[in-house]
Structure 1
Amino acid sequence: MRHSIPISLRASARAPHALALTCAAALCAFGLPACAIAQPAQAATERVLQLSIPSQPLGATIDALARQAGIGIGLDSRLNAGHVAPALQGSMTLGQALARVLEGSGLEALVNANGAWIRRANVSGEDGTLAAVTVTAHRPLDGAAAQAYRAASSSVGALGTKALRDTPFSLNVITRELLENQQAHSLLDAVRSDAAVAQGSNYTNGAGEVLSVRGLLLGYRNNYKLDGQDLIGFLGAPQVPVEHLESIEILRGAGGFLHGFGTPGGIVNLVSKRPPQAQVRSITIEATGRGAALVHGDIGGRLGEDERFGYRVNAVEEQGNTYVKDGGHIKRRSASVALDWRITPDVVWSVDALAQQRRVDAVYYQLVPNGNGRAANYAIAAAPAAVDGSTRLASPFTYSDARSTSFGTSLAWHIAPGWDARLSHRDWKQDMQSNHSFLFANAAGVYSEQQISLPARVRSQQSQLLVTGGFDIGRVRHDIAWGVSASHIRAQESNDFGSQVLGTAALATPGDFVDPGLTTHWIEGGWAFPERQRSLFASDTLHFGEQWDLILGARHNRYISNSYDKSAITPTLAVVFRPAPWLSAYGSYIEALEQGSTAPRTAANAYEVFPPIKSRQYEFGLKAEQVDWSASAAVFRTTQALTYTTSAGRYSQDGEARYQGVELSGKARLARSWTLLASGVFLDAQNTATSLGQYDGRRTPGASKRQFAAYAEYELPGMPLTLTGGWRHVSARALDMANNWSLPGYATFDLGARYVTRTAGARTTLRLNVENLGDKAYWLMAGSNRLVQGAPRTVKLGAQFEF
């Protein structure tokens, strides 16, 4: 928390006792023991921190240091102006880090066991008296519930890690503590409190996870990252268990220069758990739905001389019946390990690995609304009434079985004061055996089920070198970032493919069809889409004092596939203005390049590959950050090539989709008992410049005009009990390109409670969450012809033990 406290004291510069009293008064203002000034504690000055903080304004670096050290750092508010801190990379104590940060600034740091205070090196005025100062206590933002789940910074692709308030982009960080308190186990669970992100599928009875941001569907190849590097999915997002994640960073809008190839809706970066500075030991036990049970273990710490070796191990197992009645079942297990070695104070080597298996029974990929309910009829018509999510629509013998592995390594090198380099590589593999269904239903609820049996494999490899540093030219500070990236992605289907229409029934009374025994195996020679990507990028962030930043960046992209070899440059231009220390305004222009669409198997021109797409985005926004709250507002306009299936059944990449709107979000700690997270998006998504103009001015399918989300907590006074509640609203969505049909909007409500106690010396947190309290039936939507049931009322009960 921050306190701005004027302190007017007069004391002789040669009177050490008076000086000590002056320091004590300032430190007591934000809760640091005065007696620690004369005798700094060894624990605070000698504890080794593993740092990777870019060059940035001094205040942002002090926030980052305070967060990592887990202490408060006091800073005279007038001293922050005009100072840019050098980058910090490698192993060092808090005292060493502060000394490096303040070198040549005319400032010095006093450190004690609970925190530090930064002051002028010469604290005396010319008359031997101390001037009036305003002390600001920087409480580190670490994403805790007590701080409204706010994070101080986020990785921003090629720009490195930046303070959220200093970035000219819309960003949301979903922190570890929020994931735990909401008992999230999938990406779809995690984004419930972010209105800008829409769920397009159901984690339990849908065959894949599908997300869209600001109305734009995220691509499965380049829009999902693990620690900033590519993951590739099949039939949806890559399925990474969130129990192994420290946070989820969501860039709302085009990635372009920042992340390279990808659709302009946004980037979802999954930040894996890393070796902690302090020891971690926890076990979580949870029961969900109709009997599924979950166990999750998490241990980590540091070993060896000077704590040079760090480790983090996580393991998860979940098994049992899902909320899908009469056949729904889940079995998943996963394990991860992350290690690092501080070879020298300036060189750190890290490795990590993740393995997962997940099988879910009674699943379907999509329900296609058509006019007659017959299988393989993809001509869109009115949708049937929504069906409760617990109703089994897919046959119980259908399933999706995915096995994935990830391996990553990086070498971080603090080259010289203010200059750092990071070389990283990630390898991702996922094998899937999908025996899922396609459903086709008319408005009356008559449906046909077609089972598909198809093995598939996806592979991605990416290597990247990023170099950052800074220098001054006159009064302008330049922060430079440049790098190269190379990746190879391959998605492939087996040459062995099976399909069988199982029968016809009514959604109100689903059929009990005979298992045809479809069995397929992996055989080389099926459809494959290999691609290689090469990029070279560079940027310069110019700091004109503390108020103005100008960001210039460009990325040269080369995209190579079986169908074409294309190159393009995607530039970025942004300006940040800070009229007050707590407020920033920004404007940005960014271009994005994405791979062209591929016609689906069901189209008349199946597997036709279209050329790459260049998208453009304009955005203007405000960001505010105060002691107990932060808020942001953005106005944006994004254009993207339009893809759709024509009435003749051909898949087309024709015309343009224009997404423009207003986005609002805020996180606040109200009074002493209330926490509130709220967001909303007002979106105008229209089609333009289509062939013959037949779809011009029509709403883009799947994009709702309004989406709102809120999450609140109330701590009962004098009790370790917290009550929680959530609300999410999605307005009506166009169902087809011509806007002849639409889906109604829906709203869901959640309730929960959290109780903290101790069990046999272990901190114990008991959690209860009830999602979709009213058991609302609704359709989720992705694209123009894919519907999936929304999740029904779901109860989650768990206990977490921290040793």
Structure 2
Amino acid sequence: MSTPNLKQSAIALALLQAFAISAHAQEAMTEVVITGRSVVTDRAAIGGFSDAPLLYTPASITSISREQMQDLGIRTTTDAAKFDASISDSYNAVGYAEQFSIRGFALDNTSSYRKDGMAIPADAPIPLENKERIEVLKGLAGLQAGVAAPGGIVNYVTKRPTNIPLRSATVEVKERGTVYGAVDLGGRSDDKRFGYRINAAGERIRSYVKGADGEREFISGAFDWRLTPQALLQLDMDYQYKSQITAPGYQLIRNEVLPTGVSAKTLLNAQPWTKPVETKSSNVGLRFEYLFENDWRASIAMNKHKFQRDDYTAFPYGCSNEGDGFYPGYCSNGDYDVYDYQSEGESKSPFSAQALLQGKFTTGAISHDLTLGSSLFRRSDRFGDYVYDYAGSSNIYQNAIVPPAPGNPTTGPVFERRKENERSVFAQDILTLSQKFKLHAGLRHVQVKRTEFGIEPSDTSFTLPNVSLVYNPTQDWTVYGSMAHGLEHGAVAPIETTNANRALDPSRSKQLEFGVKGAVNSRVNVSAALFQVTKGLEFTQANADGSATYVRAGEAQHRGVELGVHGKASGNVQYSVSLAALDTEQSATGQASMDGKRVTNVPKFKSTAWLEYAVPGVEGLKVNGVWQYAGRKAFDVDNRTFVPGYHTLDLGAAYETRMMGTRTTLRAGVQNVTDKFYWRDVTPALGGYLLPGAPRTFRMSAQFDF
């Protein structure tokens, strides 16, 4: 496959743009100062329908700003996820789509990710170059999002035009020779009515998994027009191309025990005929806002997303070289079967729209902050019959070259296989009952229509309440209790099941949560949440004839505690700590081997601690460290096999100075300093896989602000 027809690579284009205009920008520009108080910011829009202080929002929310992404070397959502203990990988394979779980529930790549509140697929890594913040709502989001997995939602807030000229360029090298370059340009017209923000990036990928190489190119533009003092029109566009060989995970030996003596650097699909997974994704977003008098405003927003993928791999699965063979699982000596997997021409083209009317009024002694809204989400999935043909066998310790599947197989014709139409109306009222009490009451009614090839169309409706009582004993403290219902799409049945590629029906989930947030003093902020979430359990069930079917039966119940602390220990020391304790249980499945057991891929305890120290006597120099711990996790639904817990330590430094009159920030970091091998991610999907964490890796970068 060829790369997009771009005149120059994004790296070269990015750097040339930045340096070409720097001479003109230096005199006119007021210096942009980057500061970082902690890992998290203090505001987010994801908890409701407008930007609000996290302190007064009755939900558990993490928000990471652009400045913090720069300071912490965050290039991907995977990098950002390490700073919140409630977020874990969920079949997050190198070179493929980033996939996560929150509070132990896997997110849905179709509905759990948002751009400025609009649903977008996450079937390719979501670029961060044009994002101002990453916001994570932990827990049910039925009111805020309609259909979304019970773990929560991730919202990416796009960068907007800057009030002063912005000219910034970044270059970075890491891993086995990955080279990255990006520019960030912003400003406004002389009368301030028109503004722009341009981002471009390019990357030559040389992953720590030897052979999982690739490339990425990205460009975006965001524009604001202040039509009148009351009317604002916003447009944003982005495009990304990514091509990379994906690194599959390991399976259990004889489907019983963990592999030993293996390396995180090994590419199990290292075959001459292995092709990279190629993705192209784009967004066009439009938003119009009008401010009325007396604290009322109206807005309408829409986003059109387009995604295309050619998916290839030499897929490792099962063992046919030992006895009668068994699937899944590898042979006793580490042999595994290699399959030629191809799925060309996959595409998704969702469209999202939302209209809001928001305002404030009073009725007697009660003041109201009212939101009325309606939303639409349409989605069309197109794909053909995939190729999944046996090619030969290899070994986890010594790779063996096998020929591609005979007959030069090709995928079937691509056509629309799944179509969905989701319509919602919703309302939320925040009632100020007294100086210390507020009631947040919301309701969303959702209608979901789904048409799937070969299956009768479905048309279902759900009403999702969300109620919270908030108590503010002082201006600096909030105590809340909430009840919420959520709705999620049924998962798509994996290959090797009787209903492969078929989606289960939508299902409802329920949540109770109690929380407290506040400032202990001017230096220390804390937050804590106690929650219980219940949802239907989905798993692959064995049939009497030896086949397997993907089903929903019984329920999964997750009870947990989250704790966050961040602040300053002194004038030179900043810190942030995130803790999550989670108890999960499967019940009423009809399977004696599953009932009462822990949910897979969920540690009982996970923690992250970050510390930054400004070195006295060396102006501009800061050093930092990130420590992570995750407890052991169940590999399979019947809890026969557990993956050990692990600790990791990352170290870094940043030095801010001036080079030839240009403000320059030099950064360096080492990930997994002790070079510890560990299983970071396990999944029952596709027969069950284990994904190792990254070994010791290095990165160095330079940021120039002109």
- The 8 Å contact of residues 147 and 628 in structure 1, kept in 2 or not, is answered as no
Cα distance in 1, alignment partners of residues 489 and 40 from structure 2: 34
- Aligned-residue offset at 1:184: 2.0
SS in 2 for 1:699: coil
**What letter corresponds to residue 207 of structure 1 in structure 2?**
Y
Paired position in structure 1 for 2:10: none
AA aligned opposite 1:763 = R
**Secondary structure of the residue that 2:292 maps to in structure 1?**
strand
Assess, with a 3 A threshold, how the Cα gap between structure 1 residues 157 and 169 changes in structure 2: closer, same or farther.
Answer: closer
- Opposite residue 588 of structure 2, the aligned amino acid is A
Question: What residue is the counterpart of 1:721 in the other structure?
Answer: 621
Q: Determine if contact 2:248/2:267 at 8 Å carries over to the other structure.
A: no
Match of 1:315 in 2: 200
Per mean C-alpha deviation after superposition, the further-off stretch among 517-526 and 575-584 is: 517-526
1:582 maps onto 2:476 in alignment = yes
Equivalent runs, 1:620-631 vs 2, <5 Å: 620-625=514-519, 626-631=521-526
Q: Is the 8 A contact 1:724 1:752 kept in 2?
A: yes
Q: Deviation at 1:183?
A: 1.8
The match for 1:790 is 693
Deviation at 1:650, TM superposition (A): 1.4
How far did 1:386 drift? 7.0
1:222 maps to 2:111: yes
SS in 2 for 1:511: coil
- Counterpart Cα distance in 2 of 1:658 and 1:604: 27
Shift of 1:192: 1.4
Q: Does 1:330 align with 2:219?
A: no
Q: Could you give the per-residue CA deviations for residues 294-340 of structure 1, whole angstroms, max 9, x where no partner exists?
A: 110000011132x0001000000011422222x23120000000001
8 Å CA contact retained: 1:399, 1:434:
yes
Q: How far 1:676 sits from its partner (Å)?
A: 0.8
1:548, distance to aligned residue in structure 2 (A): 0.8
Cα RMSD after superposing both structures:
2.1
* Contact 1:292/1:330 (<8 A) preserved: no
Q: 1:398 to 1:229 in 2, by over 3 A?
A: same
Task: Please tell me the residue identity of whatever aligns with 1:165.
Answer: L
One-letter code aligned to 1:798:
S
The answer to whether the Cα contact below 8 Å between 1:247 and 1:272 also exists between their aligned partners in 2 is yes
Choose the corresponding residue for 1:430, options 279, 299, 307. 307
- Relative to structure 1, the CA distance from residue 195 to residue 661 in structure 2 (aligned partners, 3 Å threshold; closer, same or farther) is same
How big is the shift at 1:201?
4.3
Aligned equivalent of 2:422, options 515, 533, 548: 533
Once residues 266 and 386 of structure 1 are traced to their aligned partners in structure 2, the CA distance between those partners, rounded to angstroms, is 37
Q: Out of 97, 100, 105, which is 1:211 matched to?
A: 100
Query: How far is 1:792 from its partner?
Result: 1.8
**Paired residue for 2:278, among 383, 387, 401?**
401
Residue of structure 1 equivalent to 2:644: 744
Q: Which residue of 2 aligns with 1:152?
A: 42
- Aligned equivalent of 1:392: 267
Note the alpha carbon deviations across 1:242-266, whole angstroms, 9 max, x for none: 1221110000111111111111101
| Pairs aligned (count) | 646
Q: CA deviation at 1:521?
A: 6.2
The answer as to whether partners of 1:310 and 1:340 remain within 8 angstroms in 2 is: yes
Letter in 2 for 1:759: M
Aligned CA distance change for structure 1 residues 503 and 519 (closer, same or farther; 3 Å) = closer
In 2, are the aligned partners of 1:683 and 1:704 still within 8 Å (CA)? Answer: yes
Answer whether contact 1:486 1:535 (CA < 8 A) is retained: yes
The answer (yes or no) to whether the contact 2:336–2:395 under 8 Å persists in 1 is yes
Structure 1 residues 323 and 692: CA distance shift in structure 2, 3 A: closer
* Residue 370 (structure 1) shift: 5.9
Map 1:655-674; keep pairs closer than 5 Å: 655-674=554-573
User: Over residues 69-111 of structure 1, what are the superposed CA-to-partner deviations in whole Å (9 max), with x where a residue is unaligned?
Assistant: xxxxxxxxxxxxxxxxxxxxxxxxxxxxxxxxxxxxxxxxxxx
CA contact (8 A) 1:158 1:482 kept: no
Answer with 497-506 or 219-228: which moved more.
Answer: 497-506
Give 1:421's match in structure 2, choosing from 298, 303, 306. 298
Which residue of structure 1 lines up, in the alignment, with residue 609 of structure 2?
Answer: 710
- Given candidates 387, 405, 427, the residue that maps to 1:498 is 387
User: Shift of residue 158 of structure 1?
Assistant: 4.5
How far 1:145 sits from its partner (Å)? 4.3
Write out aligned runs for 1:90-129 (5 A): none
Q: Does residue 1:369 correspond to 2:245, yes or no?
A: no
| AA at the equivalent of 1:572 | N
Task: Name the counterpart of 1:614.
Answer: 508
The aligned residue for residue 179 of structure 2 is 293
Deviations 1:557-596 (A, max 9, x none): 0000023100010000101101111111110001001122
**Structure 2 CA distance for partners of 1:618 and 1:196, relative to 1, 3 Å:** same
Shift of 1:597: 2.7
| Deviation for aligned residue 1:146 | 4.0
Cα pair 1:364 1:438 within 8 Å, conserved? no
Instruction: State how far apart, in whole Å, the 1-side matches of 2:102 and 2:466 are.
Output: 20
Shift of 1:390: 1.7
Q: Cα gap change, 1:275/1:558 in structure 2, threshold over 3 Å: closer, same or farther?
A: same
Matches within 5 A, 1:455-534: 455=344, 456-495=346-385, 497-515=386-404, 520=410, 523-525=413-415, 528-534=417-423
Q: In terms of Rg, which structure is larger? A: 1
The correspondence for 1:169, drawn from 56, 59, 82, is: 59
Contact 2:467 2:483 in 1 (8 A): yes
1:190-209 equivalences under 5 Å are 190-202=80-92, 205-209=94-98
Q: Which runs of 5+ in 1 are unaligned?
A: 1-141, 372-379
User: Quick check: 2:394–2:402 contact (8 Å CA) kept in 1?
Assistant: no
More divergent stretch after superposition (652-661 vs 315-324): 315-324
With 225-234 and 785-794 compared, the bigger mean Cα shift is at 785-794
- Matched residues in 2 for 1:727 and 1:503: separation? 42
Deviation of the 1:544 alpha carbon: 2.2
Query: Contact 1:599 / 1:609 at 8 angstroms: preserved in 2?
Result: yes
C-alpha spacing 1:522/1:225, structure 2 compared with 1 (3 Å): farther
> How do 1:42-121 residues align onto structure 2 when only pairs under 5 Å count?
none
Q: Secondary structure at the match of 1:614?
A: strand
Equivalent-residue separation in structure 1 for 2:164 and 2:662 (angstroms): 16
TM-score of the pair, normalised by structure 1: 0.78
- Report the AA paired with residue 426 of structure 1: N
1:593 to 1:465, Cα distance in 2 relative to 1, 3 A: same
2:460 paired residue number = 566
Q: 1:432: how far off?
A: 0.5
The amino acid of 2:70's aligned partner reads: E
Contact 2:283–2:304 (CA<8 Å) still a contact in 1? yes
Question: How far off is 1:712 after superposition?
Answer: 1.1
**Identity within the alignment, %:** 31
Q: Which amino acid aligns with 1:388?
A: S
Q: Cα 1:202–1:539, aligned 2, differ >3 Å: closer, same or farther?
A: closer
Give the SS at the match of 2:518.
strand
Contact between 1:559 and 1:565, CA under 8 Å: does it hold in 2?
A: yes
Task: Give the structure 1 partner of residue 336 of structure 2.
Answer: 447
2:531 is the alignment partner of 1:636: yes
1:339 maps to: 223
- Residue 762 (structure 1) shift: 1.2
Question: Structure 1 CA distance, aligned partners of 2:496 and 2:223?
Answer: 45
Q: How far apart, in 2, do the equivalents of 1:752 and 1:444 lie?
A: 40
Question: Out of 645, 650, 675, which is 2:574 matched to?
Answer: 675
Letter of the 1:294 partner, please give it. Y
How many Å separate the matches in 2 of 1:790 and 1:298?
31
Q: Distance in 2 between matches of 1:386 and 1:771?
A: 21
Hey, what's the Cα distance between the residues in 2 that align with 1:568 and 1:615? Answer: 11
Unpaired stretches in structure 2, ≥5 consecutive residues: 1-31, 318-328, 452-456
Once the two structures are TM-superposed, the CA of residue 451 in structure 1 deviates from its matched residue by 2.9
Q: TM-score, normalised by structure 2?
A: 0.88
- Secondary structure of the 2:415 match is coil
- Partner Cα distance (1:190, 1:328) in 2: 22
